[in-house]
A and B are shown apart, each in its own frame.
Chain A
Amino acid sequence: SQELEQSPQSLIVQEGKNLTINCTSSKTLYGLYWYKQKYGEGLIFLMMLQKGGEEKSHEKITAKLDEKKQQSSLHITASQPSHAGIYLCGAPLPGYGGSQGNLIFGKGTKLSVKP
């Protein structure tokens, strides 16, 4: 089973619209990292969350970790074509080398923004 489930798998939005991407774990998350990837390129670090209820923002992107620390959401306000790409969540999980800093990644959410 997939340890980190991302939804939706893909998303097409009109420029200017808001959107939310979710990352869910069946286990407690001790840290959650959000990355963005353009096709054929490396991952760019966006934000890191550690505490239940924590929320961080950077420009028009806000990420939250719920109180139970099992789900994180990434919200983009007033989307722009520059937001297009693949968004991935990653987390250190027990049994997967999490105590050594290794990350398990979700399969990603592909975002397209129509001008």
Chain B
Amino acid sequence: DGGITQSPKYLFRKEGQNVTLSCEQNLNHDAMYWYRQDPGQGLRLIYYSQIVNDFQKGDIAEGYSVSREKKESFPLTVTSAQKNPTAFYLCASKAKGEGQFNQPQHFGDGTRLSIL
């Protein structure tokens, strides 16, 4: 079945440590996204990529980094510069449609990151 796989489901970070969250899709989607979800705050965009080898910062990119070397993969690294990383992280992907507004984003099941 086609879908978006995020791993791991739970992740713990020590002080000063970088951690990488995996996101893989087999939907042949061009665009991929990373969101952060905090209680009561909704989803906030961290980074997005419309095409392989290209990505742009979202609203809260500080302390995060991404790469898009393959169409299927869009890993997110939470660096030690991110002082408040505890959150639920969601990856999404979207097909290229006739217009930007007629294709929904599809989401993975998320990774919950906590500080040790």
A interface with B by C-beta (< 8 Å): 30-31, 33, 35, 40-45, 48, 50, 88, 90, 92, 96-103, 105-108
Contacts A88-B43, A107-B41 hold; do A101 and B109 have CB atoms under 8 A apart? Answer: no
**A101 contacts B103, C-beta separation under 8 Å:** yes
B100 and A107 form a contact (CB under 8 A): no
Contact A107 B90 (CB under 8 A): no
Once A48-B102, A88-B42, A102-B48 are accepted as A-B contacts, the answer to whether A43 and B94 lie under 8 Å apart by CB is no
Main secondary structure of the interface of A (DSSP, over half): loop
Number of chain B residues close to chain A: CB under 8 A: 30
Residue of A nearest to B102 (CB): A50
Ordered by A's residue number, 15 sampled pairs between the chains whose C-beta atoms are within 8 Å are A33-B105, A35-B107, A40-B110, A40-B112, A42-B4, A42-B6, A42-B108, A44-B107, A45-B104, A48-B104, A96-B59, A97-B56, A101-B31, A102-B58, A107-B42
Cβ-defined contact, B100 with A100, below 8 A: yes
Instruction: Judge whether A106 and B107 touch: CB under 8 Å.
Output: no
Cβ–Cβ < 8 Å partners of A30 in chain B:
101
Inter-chain contact A92/B105, CB cutoff 8 Å: no
Residues of chain B within 8 A (CB-CB) of A98 are 100
Q: Across the interface, do A33 and B104 meet the contact criterion of CB distance under 8 Å?
A: yes
- Contacting pair B101 A50 (CB below 8 A): yes
List B contacts of A48 (CB < 8 A). Answer: 102, 104
Q: Are A43 and B40 in contact, with the CB atoms below 8 A?
A: no
A42 to B107, CA, bound (A): 6
CB distance from B102 to the nearest CB of A (A): 7
Neighbour of B109 across the interface among A42, A96, A99, CB < 8 A: A42
Q: Does B80 contact A (CB under 8 A)?
A: no
Q: How far is the CA of A79 from the CA of B72 in the complex (A)?
A: 38
Q: How far is the CB of A94 from chain B (nearest CB, A)?
A: 12
A42 touches B31 (CB 8 A): no
B residues in contact with A106, CB < 8 Å: 42
Residue B22 at the A interface, CB < 8 A?
no
Enumerate chain A residues within 8 angstroms of B40, measured Cβ to Cβ: 107
* Residue of B with least CB distance to A106: B42
A30 to chain B, nearest CB (A): 5
